[in-house]
Amino acid sequence: MMMRRVAPPASGEEAGTTTTTTTTMPEWLEALLSTRFFLSCGAHPASPRNECNMFCLDCPSPAFCYYCRSHRHQAHRVIQIRRSSYHDVVRVTEVEDVLDISGVQTYVINSAKVLFLNERPQPRGAGAAAGKAAASPYNCEICGRALLDPFRFCSLGCKVLYHH
């Protein structure tokens, strides 16, 4: 799985700047961030594609599978959660119209612009990538994770913690 960083916002909308507008979090956001995805669906245990990687923005249901979407969430706004390096990500195109994602580091994975849902641990001095990251002057304002561009947060979860 190829992963590359995405350039920071254009000048005039720099990620590191602070705005005076108050960010309101949608009711479903905290549930999204605390949901466990990729478990087998209890309603469709023998079906292929039964991993619970869908999340409904319109009703308070737990994660669900492809088949549950067809039966129970057909007319609802649903986002699909994906995995990158064992961490949950969501495509920017699926959330940018319903959520303020400004200031959150984005990446391109398999030709799609994504962002991480929750903080990812970053052990200091681990691996070749840590050398580049350690040299970065940009860090997540919540967890301190090194960022490769002038964004403020490494994930949606860190942005939510900042605004609480």
Residue 125 backbone zone (phi > 0: left; psi -120 to 50: alpha; other: beta): left
Give the per-residue pLDDT at 8: 53
**Ranges 2-6, 118-122, 128-132, 137-141, most confident:** 137-141
Phi-psi region of 38 (alpha: psi -120 to 50; beta: other; left: phi over 0): left
Q: Is the pLDDT of residue 136 over 90?
A: no
- pLDDT interval class at 111 (50, 70, 90): very high
DSSP percent split of the chain into helix, strand, coil, nearest 5: 20, 20, 60
CA atoms within 13 A on the CB side of 133: 17
Q: What is the DSSP secondary structure assignment for residue 83, as one 8-state letter?
A: E
Q: Report residue 29 as tokens.
A: 């956001």
pLDDT of residue 132: 55
| pLDDT given at position 73 | 86
For residue 19, the one-letter residue type is T
Residue 92: closest CA among 76, 74, 73, 111? 111
Q: What is the pLDDT of residues 5-29, one digit of tens each?
A: 444 554 444 444 444 445 578 889 9
Task: State mean pLDDT over 138-160.
Answer: 92
The DSSP annotation for 4-42 comes to EE-PPPPTTS-TTPPPSSPPPPPTTHHHHHH---SPBPS
Tell me how far apart the alpha carbons of residues 47 and 66 are, in angstroms, rounded to a whole number.
10
Q: What is the pLDDT of residues 69-110, one digit of tens each?
A: 888 888 899 999 999 989 999 999 999 999 999 999 999 999
Residue 11, pLDDT score? 46
23-57 residue pLDDT tens: 578 889 999 999 999 999 999 999 998 999 999 99
Give dist(CA 54, CA 82) in Å, integer. 9
The Cα–Cα gap between 66 and 44 comes to: 10
What is the pLDDT averaged over residues 146-160? Answer: 93
Query: Are the CB atoms for 115 and 155 separated by under 8 Å?
Result: yes
